Amino acid sequence: MVTLQDLKHISDYEWEIPKTYRPDMRVPVRLFATRRLLEDVMKDKSLEQAVNAATLPGLVGHVIVMPDMHQGYGFPIGGVAATRLPDGVISPGGIGYDINCGVRLLGSQIGYEAALPHLDDLATALNHYCPSGVGEGGSVHTTEAELIAVCRQGSRWALKQGFASEADLRRTEESGCVEGANPDKVSVRARQRGRPQLGSLGAGNHFVEIDLVEQIFDLQAASVMGLEEGTLAVQIHCGSRGFGHQICTDYVEEFQAAVKRYNIHLVDRELVCAPLNSPEGQDYLGAMRCAANYAFANRQILAHSARKAFEQVLAGKIKNWHLHQVYDICHNMGKIETHIIDGEQMQVCVHRKGATRAFGPGTPELPEEYRSIGQPVLVPGSMGTASWVLVGTAASMELSFGSTCHGSGRLMSRHEAKRNVRGEKLRQDLEAAGIHIRAGSMAGLAEEAPQAYKDVDQVVDAVVGGGIARKVARLHPLVVIKG
């Protein structure tokens, strides 16, 4: 068990578990957190899991852990690990079952006062147009050929179907389509699960939320993003649904044999991996990119559905009710990127599991309008609490493979949350605080109670203090739709 005494204090926001902590570690673990957040983390197995992740072959730099870290399976949630090309490994469990789970933010010029009388109708309309909940199908049922096109084209497929604009795609990570997707490497089962679910939220911690842009911290960056204090914004949090879950399940199973073939010793079988240049590694990359593109298309269709809801409720009542895309980010992904590590420029596979890419200003991968301010980073808080819009920094490129936190991070187990919180009472409390709730399950609502999560403001202060992000705007929830 890692204790505070095992950690090297780098700064008030940075700590290190040295490579000497355990003989099988190949790189040190670098933590971004305040002492207070670290004390919370010590209550679960996050740090032990980070140390386990630091044993994978081909790692470079550090394994990075963000302040929203919490215990996961294999890797901790909030973990970032980079493996060198060509022979470092790729680990499906280091990306997660919900491949390309991510967040999309839409901005507007709708003023809070003007919208206030319509919020309940907006909640009902969003709940109608954005299918959510356990086992719910999506708003778009695809044929086999259409699913293959989604795999290859991601948001570009959505554009062709009339669900997107060119501006939406430009303001999406990877422009909404990761190259190199290979549908031939996706199982029949995954395709069968994926076909009926496009355009659906799912359950768990996924949501659609209407927020108020409550406070601006960087006027210039907010202006570039089209975010104005006192206006409404919409957040969409979801991923690749059963399609991604099945792809990860298939490859975690297949890699159980691959680790034996490549003589890779593991401390935890969920860390299974294969060399990036092996046939198995290439197959997983090709399949994972299909799920990534599916998730981009999924969030794009949900954004289209949110726009339909806004049009239905506000057209003719409010002058400019349109929703424009601010950005769409992934927080469960493996990406081939170029970084400078120990003074050497190298191509690496960056695993981000519950961590957001946060490229700094000047990065060529960013759309032109964002190159001067850095990549927008979307950090949803827990239900009923604030969310944040940040931007990546030059330091994030040096310190964390251009990555930062992805949310507030769980503090309490789902079991404990259900024991301590009654879903119906929570719904009443949130409604009394002026937050309109639509939830498929009261038990699910209880599990996502705000007290089950860390304070998102503290998490954001830690990444800003550590220099790996900068504050742009704080959002306050008005409407929450959960499965």
Partner 1 sequence: MQAEFGFRELAHTADWELEVWAPDLPTLLEQAALGMYTISGVQLEPGENQTRKIILRAADAESLLVQFLSELLWIEQDQNLAFVRISVTVDDDYNLNADLSGSSIVKMDKEIKAVTYHNLQVQALSAGLRVNIVFDV
- Contacting positions for partner 1 (CB under 8 A): 44, 46, 70-74, 77, 93, 96-98, 134-135, 189, 192-193, 202-204, 242, 245-246, 248-249, 252-253, 256-257, 268-270, 272, 410-416, 441, 443-444, 447
Residue 66 Cα distances to 33, 63, 181, angstroms: 7, 10, 29
Quick count: other Cβ atoms within 10 Å of Cβ 425? 13
| Residues 6 or more apart whose Cβ sits within 8 Å of residue 57 | 26, 83, 88, 89, 264, 273, 275
Q: Which of 397, 443, 324, 395 is nearest to 13 (CA)?
A: 395
Q: Do 472 and 391 form a contact (C-beta atoms < 8 A)? A: yes
Least Å distance between CB 447 and partner 1? 8
Q: Do 53 and 79 form a contact (C-beta atoms < 8 A)? A: yes
Quick one: how many helices (H) and strands (E) in the chain?
A: 16, 19
User: Scanning the structure block, which residue is given the tokens 């950005």?
Assistant: 327
Q: Strand 470-482 to strand 436-439: parallel, antiparallel, or no bridges (unpaired)?
A: parallel
Both tokens of 129, joined, read: 């147009």
Q: How is residue 406 annotated by DSSP?
A: -
Question: Measured from the CB atom, is 57 or 74 closer to partner 1?
Answer: 74
List active site positions: 406
Question: Measured from the CB atom, is 158 or 437 closer to partner 1?
Answer: 437
Least Å distance between CB 405 and partner 1? 15
Least Å distance between CB 372 and partner 1? 37
Least Å distance between CB 220 and partner 1? 36
Question: Measured from the CB atom, is 253 or 431 closer to partner 1?
Answer: 253
Least Å distance between CB 246 and partner 1? 8
Least Å distance between CB 482 and partner 1? 12
Give the dihedral sign, CA 315/167/300/379: negative
Question: Measured from the CB atom, is 239 or 392 closer to partner 1?
Answer: 239
How far apart, in whole angstroms, are the C-alpha atoms of residue 348 and residue 325? 30
Q: DSSP alpha helices (H): ranges in 315-413?
A: 394-399
Least Å distance between CB 193 and partner 1? 6
Question: Measured from the CB atom, is 15 or 97 closer to partner 1?
Answer: 97
Question: Measured from the CB atom, is 71 or 161 closer to partner 1?
Answer: 71
SS3 276: coil
Residue 22 Cα distances to 84, 193, 322, 388, angstroms: 22, 41, 54, 36
Secondary structure element (H or E) that encloses residue 387, with its range: strand 387-391
Residue 408, phi-psi category: left (phi > 0), alpha (psi -120 to 50), beta (remainder): alpha
Question: Measured from the CB atom, is 154 or 242 closer to partner 1?
Answer: 242
Question: Measured from the CB atom, is 70 or 289 closer to partner 1?
Answer: 70
Q: Which of 357, 387, 397, 400 is nearest to 375 (CA)?
A: 357
Least Å distance between CB 43 and partner 1? 8
Q: Which of 187, 302, 309 is nearest to 246 (CA)?
A: 187
